[in-house]
Structure 1
Amino acid sequence: VSFMSGNTTRASVALIQGDAARGVLLIGGLITFVIGNAAGVMVSIKFRPQAVLLFVSVLLVCAALFDDLRELRFLLLILAMGAINASVEQIEGLPVGLTYVTGALSRFGRGLGRWAMGIRNTHWVVQIVPWLGMMAGAILGAALVEEMGNLVLWLPAAVALFLTAVSIQIPRRRQSRFIQHR
């Protein structure tokens, strides 16, 4: 569910191969990702960024509840992933996409190239964090699916709820470096 560029390619291949149902599902996933981004921003603006985490938590719980409906679970997970990107858009003025690994790796690589050419600004180093998180999460997720099957969806829901509770306790003055100024 986490690779929109891959889902775009897979949707195209499915449509060309005549697998309309799979192609439509994958295109639905792309649309759902965009809607999740929009919904996350709307929740963040209307309430607070922590409300986005609560929204994502609810979506993850719903995905865990719909164990037998794979397509609905797929779309709920993508909706949650799109929404989570609205919780942190920048760190100290630098753009950070939480699930946009390609962009993060590209920004990291460009920063590395500048550093190699003698430009010693190291703000680009933070761009590797989303990739490290995605890699660690993918490895852990794959291992947990092997052990727990579909019950594993309850784990990210519980972690998201815990992080929501913790983030609500963070004083606003400490959040200013991470909030997109509207």
Structure 2
Amino acid sequence: MTRERRRRVIRTRRTTTGLMLAGAISFLAGMTDATGLALTGDFVSFMTGNTTRAALSLGGGDLRHAAILLSAIMVFVLGNAAGIVIAHFADRRTFAVLSCVSIALATASLMMGESVAMPRFYLIVASMGMVNAAVEQIEGLPIGLTYVTGALSRFGRGLGRWIIGDKRLEWTIQIVPWAGMFAGAVMGALLTQIAGAAALWVIAVFAMLVALASLLIPKRLQRRFNATPRSAVRTK
């Protein structure tokens, strides 16, 4: 096998592994979002939707609902930040992040009753922000796990470039998080219909299973899923 062919084989394996992991995490996000929406009436990972709904609530004079949604957006941002911090200090970033997500969802599943409805909602939102730190890129291409609007936009732009003559097909990987999110949302809807709030237990277990499966991925490969900060690049 020539050196060039070996490189192509290795890159294909890396890409396949990354896409399988991204698909599984997007499936997790889809399940959580559908369950959270069914339980609370608001999105737990779709912050574009929450932004629009918050604006509508403000315009309609429903200040309480607007405050809830704006707070959820802030919690989601903080969840993303927490995920990055956890990933930074962990040897196994994906395992560490998904383990924390699993614990957060398991804790949320224990919060029963109206008195803890809001804390449960915000805990689920934080976990969905956190999950985005598990995988940030695949072979240098940004990948979205809970925000599939960006993935669909990149897919559409790639399709446009292909139509006008650019024959590169890397953009096709952007359909993976959308497909995972859609399939996960269907499963989440079914689980919630069957088990109600107890569906969060199932989702927490799934998150831990994905976390454990990520231990099979070599450390050097997991580092490639991290978006290197510019400051780190300058110091090399």
Coarse TM-score class (shorter-chain normalised): over 0.9
State which drifts further: 24-33 or 164-173.
Answer: 164-173
Equivalent residue number for residue 191 of structure 2:
144
State which drifts further: 136-145 or 171-180.
Answer: 171-180
Residue of structure 2 aligned with 1:67, choices 103, 112, 126: 112
Residue 174 of structure 1, CA deviation: 3.3
Residue of structure 2 aligned with 1:4, choices 35, 47, 50: 47
1:15 pairs with 2:62: no
Letter in 2 for 1:5: T
Residue 180 of structure 1, CA deviation: 2.7
Residue 118 of structure 1, CA deviation: 1.7
Letter in 1 for 2:215: I
Task: Give CA deviations for 1:115-158 in whole Å, capped at 9, x if unaligned.
Answer: 11121100000111111111111111111111111111111100
Aligned length: 182
Residue 86 of structure 1, CA deviation: 0.6
State which drifts further: 49-58 or 78-87.
Answer: 49-58
Which runs of structure 2 are paired with 1:103-118 in the superposition (5 Å)?
103-118=150-165
* Identity between Structure 1 and Structure 2 (%): 50
Distance 2:196 2:151 in 1: 30
Q: Name the structure, 1 or 2, with higher relative contact order (CA <8 Å, separation 6+).
A: 2
Residue 75 of structure 1, CA deviation: 0.8
CA RMSD of aligned residues (A): 1.3
TM-score if structure 2 supplies the norm length?
0.74
TM-score if structure 1 supplies the norm length?
0.95
Task: Give CA deviations for 1:72-97 in whole Å, capped at 9, x if unaligned.
Answer: 22111110110000110000100011
Please tell me whether Structure 1 or Structure 2 has the larger radius of gyration of its CA atoms: 2
Structure 1 residue runs without a partner (length 5+): none
Distance 2:112 2:166 in 1: 51
1:26 pairs with 2:69: yes
Residue of structure 1 aligned with 2:84, choices 36, 41, 55: 41
CA contact (8 A) 2:45 2:76 kept: no
Equivalent residue number for residue 57 of structure 1:
102
